[in-house]
Amino acid sequence: MIIPGSGSQALAAALAEATGEALATPTYDRFPDGEQLAAVPDFAGDSATIVCSTTGDEAWVELLQLQDAVREAGATEITTVIPYMGYARQDQAFKQGQPVSARAMARAVSTGTDRVVLVNPHEPDVADCYDVPVDHVDAAGVLAAPLPALDDPLFLAPDESAVGLAETVSEAYGAGDTDYFEKHRDRDTGAVEIEPSDATVQGRDVVVVDDIIATGSTMSEAIGVLEARDADRLFAACVHPMLVRNAATKLRNAGVERIVGTDTVERECSCVSVAAAVADAL
Ligand code: R5P
């Protein structure tokens, strides 16, 4: 049975469709003091696949409760799909006294599951933080489908670590060059500086590809540089469209024609599903 977290209901339904598994109808309640109570009253069977993006602290609590609820209801095999894993970027103590938050969350999740499936985690090494087997799904290729016909396309990563994603989208699109910018982020202020690559962008359609758009600082800096260098149409593509606060507006004002994201985070721009790729991993 597929068990959706409250923020992953569309993806869980698509996954139920792709796998032929039944879709449970959890309830997501709260006690008067604010404590959460996620439950799965219609759970039946031995095997549970929980699908829960951890986009915030509440989602982490919900995930742990869903794991415990299905175990209590008789599940003997639990798979936890975390389409977007929050805290994955705090995968080391960057300053004295900081936690490795990714490890803390992964350990908690590991206590309630037999295996974990992650979709394009920020760093693949985050798998080492779990105490159960972890499978990775690379779903970046789906980002090519919603793109329009592009003129002399360039698929650009805002930093070197995302160049593999840009290559995957370019390959799935079936044309285009790939390149990356050098990115520097001030760890105290969060301010992002992008240094232009050598690629020619003038008159070309450019798709900037990243794993996540959070505040939109990285993407809007990259778009600003491309605008200044007379690129033609500009698209922002990411697997995880977190788009916190005014990120979407920042991108529009920077000159983005369209934001393309997947349903690992359910937002207005989540126009393609990772369900088929996740189904393959189950
Ligand atoms: C960082 O290395 C990631 O790949 C993203 O570029 C970054 O997390 C995006 O965050 P923001 O939108 O806040 O700049």
Is 187's pLDDT higher than 90?
A: no
pLDDT, position 9: 98
CB of 213 within 6 A of ligand 1: the answer is yes
- Write out the two tokens for 183: 């990115």
Average pLDDT, the chain: 95
Task: Quick: pLDDT tens for 65-92.
Answer: 999 999 999 999 999 999 999 999 999 9
Nearest CA to ligand 1 atom 5: 212
In this structure, which residue's CA is closest to atom 10 in ligand 1?
A: 214
Q: Is the model's pLDDT at 20 over the cut of 80?
A: yes
**Catalytic residue numbers?**
183
**Domains of the chain, residue spans:** 2-138+277-281, 141-263
pLDDT reported for residue 190: 73
pLDDT mean over 167-194: 86
Considering the segment(s) 2-138+277-281 as one domain, its CATH architecture is 3-Layer(aba) Sandwich (3.40)
Lowest-pLDDT choice from 34-48, 185-199, 212-226: 185-199
Q: Give the distance from CA 227 to its chain's centroid.
A: 26
Count of Cβ atoms closer than 10 Å to residue 187 Cβ: 8
Q: Judge contact between 254 and 243, C-beta under 8 A.
A: no
Which atom number of ligand 1 is nearest to the Cα of residue 122? Answer: 4
For 233-274, give the DSSP string: SEEEEEEEE---TTHHHHHHHHT-SEEEEETTS--TTEEE--
pLDDT at 192 over 80: no
Fold of 141-263: Rossmann fold (3.40.50)
- Report CA torsion sign: 116, 40, 38, 5: positive
Q: Do domains 2-138+277-281 and 141-263 have the same CATH topology?
A: yes
Taking only the tens place, the pLDDT of each residue in 247-282 is 999 999 999 999 999 999 999 999 999 999 999 999
pLDDT of residue 40: 98
